[in-house]
Amino acid sequence: QVQLVESGGGSAQAGGSLRLSCAASGDTSDVLCMAWFRQAPGEEREGVALIYRRSGGTYVPDSVNGRFAISQDNRKNTVYLQMNRLKPEDTAMYYCAASRARTCYLHSHTGYDYWGQGTPVTVSS
């Protein structure tokens, strides 16, 4: 089993920055990619970034490209989401997810094996 714990959420002004962290523990040896999703009230869960643990390859969708970046520290088993130039529409609960699949996608949250409890982000204008 893998446990994921997010932290770093909170409130920010529009144009500001936040950095989220996701600490993984347990047997992470077969986790091949990790991702960040977000879900606003009444909305579908949306993928905003993913990273492959072994290669370090990343993907960020156009919707947040240029503002969000994902990175990892494998020594700490931690993944980060750096969010810059925040907008009110970035307000959501942010979740960390981990997958044992060789190929991961952001268009669907169903391919992930483990999820954190989420950390809230509120951006005010």
pLDDT band at 108 (very low <50, low <70, confident <90, very high): confident
* Burial class, 36, CB count within 10 angstroms (exposed 0-12 / middle 13-18 / buried 19+): buried
pLDDT band at 109 (very low <50, low <70, confident <90, very high): confident
Report the percentage of the chain scoring pLDDT > 70.
100
Give the CA angle between residues 84, 61, 104 to the nearest 5°: 120
Tokens standing for 91?
Answer: 């307000």
Whether residue 89 is predicted with pLDDT greater than 90 in this model: the reply is: yes
Whether residue 107 is predicted with pLDDT greater than 90 in this model: the reply is: no
Spatial CA neighbour of 77 closest among 20, 118, 23: 23
Strand duo 68-73 + 58-59: pairing? unpaired
Q: For residues 54 and 31, what is the distance between their CA atoms, to the nearest angstrom?
A: 9
For residue 94, the SS3 value is: strand
